Chains A and B, each alone.
Chain A
């Protein structure tokens, strides 16, 4: 989740109205902002990704001004025009087709303001920009820029002085040796040409989305900026410009749009005019669970920094361009909630009457649990994911048909278990210092590939038992199995000699119910026992419980 640092004196100045820092801090959670760390002079907060306008203290203060009633309705949005032009060359069309931008004039930059702007730029590129894939932002000192600009694609031999360097590097060098080039190079790979923004004197502003040119870098003495945005879709670019423009307006600057010449077409960009939505008062009241008259909705929305007017039983809402999270009426209803004051909402304890029930799976597991505990077994609960070593190698099982997860953060959790017993041997190995006998049971799902299953995997509920003691035998394991089947389900299994690579030949059986195999029983091979670092015999069984689901439905018994 993105974070922003809010300094007390800046916030108090931006909010105004004599509001204290503590009042602000108390209000923040009610706006959906989560406090991470609080000190006397600042607070570090986490904000939700649907409010990229909270990436600066300007954005947070703007909401706070509305919430405290100091400034309500649409925030300033007086975008002026200009003749500053960008010419889009057809060569970028295949590479990174869209560009837009704006001019910021009369900005007073100090260190903290620069930090806030850089933080906003990064958050926007990572968030709505999806790590610069959809959006990259360049901010330049416009005093050294001579329009018209050209946005074109050039070969990798193209050279310029990148930001914070003192000599020219080629695009190829930047992509191979500069950290930013290596990190984001994949966004421009696959083409022979690379996008650059240059001005009429050939000064390179930027090689988006990688890095800016050093010539146009911004310092605390810059007061006029040119902001460029590039990407694949115009709406995302405009979202970013709208958010940034509001911040610059709040910082006291003038913002001018630019002219984009794309082929034969020339248009003014960006379009930051508000959009509108009409919302029935009824929809708001129903969703929140409180009756709102249209006039109450209007005043609440104004506090949330919207404009609103009554049209009969409905409210027409004007939505500022920077609010990229308003997709539907329900989003407007939530804004009414914020504007009204979330803290004023009380729970509605009206409950609808229904009869509860547990799932068949829970009933089945509880039934097994009762008899297994009654037989004297200790329940264990393992993980579904395990390692290849435990599941296959150490028990000499072939691993074809193994289901592996991609890019697991740990090799201990890479394969979905298709059998529980190997994981029990590992569990016993981790418990050699504990008292014996160690008689354990587990009910869990196992997984096998099955192209006919909806998600491509068949899941089967299994019961597995391991008995480890001075003399744990096949008879002990079969006795436990027969007892559990009889006492839980009045079921009797039959047995047929079989073999498994980790069980003693001649002491292994297939377990059958109504002539269908449901599992296996056997004594673990001493070589495998020793391989796991165990010192006592182990006998095991594992059966599928899927045929017993219809046994647990109580309703069919009466």
Chain B
């Protein structure tokens, strides 16, 4: 057992790294990783620990690596053009017409001419004129050229340019002029340098870091010891599977309604104008139905098949039917009602539910996407989620709606709830709920609510009062997540969706 040391004990990985560095003094990080058998990330961490303890210095240097390019690699294998040319002439043993030589070697004219010139200059061939054209005649035997040696070296593996001799550097200068011969690449290299020698005693091995099944017995018997660990040193955070933050938030909204006994209903995102607007007593020339506000689908048409219902709605709009209403007093068009839209509210779903079930008693909610033809900015989306709640009961009234809605909003976490009278084409009376946000220190308007007009409910066969409320959820989500820009919620920036905690 080594003597008690007053210095910080080394982690077994630090011991390993220091032992290697004692041999080499300076190493590249990559080489240290290879020799220690650890991953580059691990080695990086270990050298950082050693650096903060003052045992190593870490320097990043740049170096230029040279490698053979595609042409250079070819030359490394087969020789420079002048060598190949000279060999071809010598192998014939006698004069060779340049034309046939060019064809045989398959070189481009300019490259061929340059090769001829160089081969002559090196004394490997001689050019003679003849009646059949120019001839190449062998002279001295071609010898390997230093440039070819260099290219072979570079083709084998990239070389640090600072390690080349001055002759080699000059050759590189010449060869770089020929395209495809040499590739240059700048590389950053991290170097680790030992700056303080550790005590030999500190480097004593004898403890294992990782308990594996293969040493289980030996540890249990006391033969092998487990090292003490630095329990506060940083460890990696894992990549996990995770739901989108909005899924968490929307689930909590659903849970509030579920706890109040509401049944969830959903339906298509694409609806006819009939169910989105006409069945809700919204006149066909209402501004909300304009293309500027609503997404109409091109080349897609709806069909409303319940003819009796269509007739009733038509009458309701034109003259109030038998409901004791004046209606909107204009000419209603089926063609307009059969245009398809991306729903602007989930009311199209809930009113359809009531119509299909002719409910006398129902507590129903819908949570889903709605669409408005908007430009996106920090507070507006064109696609967002809306929550809508509906209660049908014999004793439904405005005050009872205030009761249900207050309970729901308090269930979402707001302690103070207030109502302001308002107006919507399909409810009367109507109110806008307001909630007090402790976080922002102010009152927020939250959508709308009201008792459905008889022009909406009676044609659907619903005789009891229908209380309803609805609002977009993304503004609340911004509060929930402490976020400022509504577009962040669906930008799917991975760092945001990964980092929002399950409990924001």
Interface string of A478-489 (1 = CB under 8 A from B): 000000000000
Task: For B375, list chain A residues within 8 Å (CB).
Answer: 409-410
Task: For B397, list chain A residues within 8 Å (CB).
Answer: 286-290, 348
Closest A residue to B498 by CB, please name it: A378
Chief secondary structure at chain B's binding surface = mixed
Q: When the two chains form the complex, which single residue of A235, A346, A413 contacts B329, counting CB atoms closer than 8 Å? A: A235
Task: For B295, list chain A residues within 8 Å (CB).
Answer: 385, 405-406, 408
Q: How far is the CA of A443 from the CA of B176 in the complex (A)?
A: 55
Closest A residue to B431 by CB, please name it: A342
Chief secondary structure at chain A's binding surface = loop
Surface stretch bound by A, among B207-215, B222-230, B253-261: B253-261
Q: Are A383 and B490 interface neighbours, CB within 8 A?
A: yes
Q: Are B263 and A356 interface neighbours, CB within 8 A?
A: yes
Distance from B18 Cβ to chain A, minimum over Cβ atoms (Å) = 31
Interface string of B358-378 (1 = CB under 8 A from A): 000111000001010111100
Distance from B396 Cβ to chain A, minimum over Cβ atoms (Å) = 8
Task: For B395, list chain A residues within 8 Å (CB).
Answer: 289, 350
Closest B residue to A369 by CB, please name it: B243
Q: Are A456 and B423 interface neighbours, CB within 8 A?
A: no
Task: For A32, list chain B residues within 8 Å (CB).
Answer: 420-423
Task: For B330, list chain A residues within 8 Å (CB).
Answer: 233
Q: Are B243 and A345 interface neighbours, CB within 8 A?
A: no
Q: How far is the CA of A406 from the CA of B298 in the complex (A)?
A: 6
B13 at the interface (CB under 8 A from A): no
Within 8 A of A (CB), among B246-304: 246-247, 251, 254, 257-266, 268-272, 285, 291-292, 295-304
Q: Are B494 and A438 interface neighbours, CB within 8 A?
A: yes
Q: Are B270 and A337 interface neighbours, CB within 8 A?
A: no
When A334-B429, A405-B295 are in contact, do A385 and B382 touch as well, CB less than 8 Å? yes
A530 at the interface (CB under 8 A from B): no
Within 8 A of A (CB), among B428-485: 428-429, 451, 453-455, 465
Distance from A70 Cβ to chain B, minimum over Cβ atoms (Å) = 21
Q: Are B423 and A350 interface neighbours, CB within 8 A?
A: no
Q: Are B497 and A288 interface neighbours, CB within 8 A?
A: no
B391 at the interface (CB under 8 A from A): yes
A348, A353, A369, A404 interface centre (most CB from chain B within 10 Å): A348
Q: Are B406 and A347 interface neighbours, CB within 8 A?
A: yes
Distance from B469 Cβ to chain A, minimum over Cβ atoms (Å) = 13
Q: When the two chains form the complex, which single residue of A235, A330, A404 contacts B428, counting CB atoms closer than 8 Å? A: A330
Q: Are A407 and B292 interface neighbours, CB within 8 A?
A: yes
Q: How far is the CA of A30 from the CA of B422 in the complex (A)?
A: 9
B323 at the interface (CB under 8 A from A): yes
A168 at the interface (CB under 8 A from B): no
Q: Are A381 and B244 interface neighbours, CB within 8 A?
A: yes
Given contacts A287-B451, A354-B263, A456-B300, 9 further A-B contacts (CB under 8 A): A133-B285, A288-B429, A334-B429, A380-B497, A407-B291, A409-B382, A437-B239, A454-B272, A459-B269
Supply 8 A–B pairs (Cβ within 8 Å), ascending by A. Answer: A287-B398, A289-B395, A349-B403, A359-B265, A384-B369, A413-B383, A431-B493, A434-B494
Q: Which residues of B contact A (CB under 8 A)?
A: 239-244, 246-247, 251, 254, 257-266, 268-272, 285, 291-292, 295-305, 320, 323-327, 329-330, 340, 342, 361-363, 369, 371, 373-376, 382-383, 391, 393, 395, 397-400, 402-407, 419-423, 425, 428-429, 451, 453-455, 465, 490-495, 497-498
Which 9 residue pairs across A and B have the least CB separation, nearest first? A289-B397, A289-B399, A48-B423, A347-B402, A373-B241, A456-B300, A348-B399, A328-B325, A359-B264
